[in-house]
A = this chain, B = another copy of it.
Amino acid sequence: MLDRIRATFESYGFASIETPSVEELEVLLAKGETDKEIYTIERLQADETAGGESRLGLHYDLTVPFARYVAQHFNDLVFPFKRYQMQRVWRGERPQAGRFREFTQCDVDVIGIDNLAVTFDAELAAVAMQALDAIGVSGVTLHISNRKILNGFLMGLGLVEATDRVSVIRAIDAIAKVGADETEAVICLALPGLPNNREIAAKSVLLASIVGPNGSLTERVSALGVEHEELRVGLAELEEVLRHLKFLGTANAVADLSIARGFDYYTGTVYEGRFDDNPGFGSIVAGGRYDDLAGAFINKKLPGVGISIGFSRLFAKLLADKAIDTSKRSPADLLIILPSEERREDMLVKAQALRKRGFKVETYHAPQKIGKQIGYAEKKGIPFVWFPPFDDAGSDEVKDMSSGAQTPADVETWKP
């Protein structure tokens, strides 16, 4: 599955990078207080008197190491810099179903200097959905919005304080879980001093209910009677992203103005991919556009857009749903029987010939009873068993373990 995701990322020209699992603690904490639980590491036999070494921690995501990497290698990179990164990350949270302390993330991002075309926001959405398709995950829709829409909308409603807008955005973020009524109430409570808090709450919830195809978006937002330049820009960007997704043939993506990604530092496009028949499972893929990747490490403005596939969560779900076949205990296509000790050279030479042709081959290690050798293939789920001749006059045969059919075969021409 990871290979297929990787192949999809590379088919769009994203380059692979890997960074150490360990970063200096000050790098991990560079963006200020993090809500991610960090694991620190220490040598068991640390020499207390040595001192002077930086404190180290395991990375809790792939964004911070990527930012450090871009800052460190800035002069060697060609921008727009397109990279993917598939690694384990660690968080010291309480483990539960779908939440692990060690898990694999598949991140794909593109970074520009000073600015980055919004067409990349469409490319990132397309590559993520195509990666899901490549691993046979269907029934997922990518819900897309743009932070500027809700933010501009709230400014249009006179919400001048950024902290107030953040409170509303965070409340909207939970709308899929808690429903429209409770979200509206939460927004009202979050803006106690404002005379029009009821209007803001009601209209925000109406805005968040707008889901659907491109054409009607601007009209449906206009009907709410709120105007603001940032709102207009956000809608235009979202429409451009959707238009490009059509060009790219990405069908399962939809505008959804309830998408806020409230706890992340996105500034434009935001995405969330969810199972259509199981939205409560949460996001399978998520990401968005950010203004500045590596401001903590380098004095350059590096805007980017990225999306992340939560591979371990997805894999655990597929395993639980029995959508992954776990019956095969060997990658082998074939087991070659050893008829007698004298025929070992014949068996090994044939195995190498089949391997050279690209087949995966196990050879049985001892001239035991044929039934026992076949039983080994059966227990390991190896689909074909090869019977070499018992003497130089004999010929080769292959047994198809599923049908039981046994047919003559030649190492240079056999096919499953």
Query: Chain A interface (Cβ within 8 Å of chain B)?
Result: 3, 10-16, 20-22, 25, 37-46, 57-58, 77-78, 80, 82, 88, 90, 92, 101-102, 117, 119-120, 123, 244, 247-249, 329-332, 335, 344-345, 348-349, 351-352, 355, 359-363, 365-366, 376, 379-380, 382
A255–chain B nearest beta-carbon distance, Å:
19
User: Chain B: which residue is nearest A87 at the CB level?
Assistant: B88
B13 in contact with A78 (CB, 8 Å): no
Q: How many copies does the complex hold?
A: 2
Pairs across A and B, CB under 8 Å, 28 listed: A11-B355, A12-B360, A13-B330, A13-B331, A13-B361, A13-B382, A14-B331, A16-B331, A21-B21, A21-B88, A21-B102, A22-B90, A22-B102, A37-B45, A38-B44, A39-B43, A40-B41, A40-B43, A41-B41, A44-B92, A45-B92, A78-B376, A82-B330, A119-B365, A244-B348, A247-B345, A247-B349, A248-B351
Residues of B within 8 A of A330 (CB): 13, 15, 82
User: Chain B: which residue is nearest A11 at the CB level?
Assistant: B355
Residues of B within 8 A of A344 (CB): 119, 244, 247
Residues of B within 8 A of A58 (CB): 41
A400–chain B nearest beta-carbon distance, Å:
18
How many Å lie between the Cα of A92 and that of B22 in the bound state?
12
How many Å lie between the Cα of A393 and that of B244 in the bound state?
23
How many Å lie between the Cα of A21 and that of B101 in the bound state?
11
How many Å lie between the Cα of A380 and that of B365 in the bound state?
49
Q: Quick one: given A120-B365, A348-B247, are A355 and B40 in contact (CB under 8 Å)?
A: no
A95–chain B nearest beta-carbon distance, Å:
11
> What 6 pairs between A and B have smallest CB-CB spacing?
A13-B362, A43-B92, A13-B332, A247-B348, A10-B331, A38-B44
How many Å lie between the Cα of A348 and that of B330 in the bound state?
41
Main secondary structure of the interface of A (DSSP, over half): mixed
Residues of B within 8 A of A46 (CB): 92
Residues of B within 8 A of A25 (CB): 44
Among B40, B119, B329, which residue has its beta carbon within 8 angstroms of that of A42? B40
A42 in contact with B43 (CB, 8 Å): no
User: Chain B: which residue is nearest A347 at the CB level?
Assistant: B247
Residues of B within 8 A of A39 (CB): 41-44
User: Chain B: which residue is nearest A122 at the CB level?
Assistant: B348
How many Å lie between the Cα of A361 and that of B20 in the bound state?
28
Q: Quick one: given A13-B330, A38-B43, A329-B15, are A249 and B21 in contact (CB under 8 Å)?
A: no
User: Chain B: which residue is nearest A116 at the CB level?
Assistant: B365
How many Å lie between the Cα of A101 and that of B53 in the bound state?
14
A331–chain B nearest beta-carbon distance, Å:
4
A45–chain B nearest beta-carbon distance, Å:
6
How many Å lie between the Cα of A325 and that of B241 in the bound state?
36
User: Chain B: which residue is nearest A362 at the CB level?
Assistant: B13
A193–chain B nearest beta-carbon distance, Å:
34
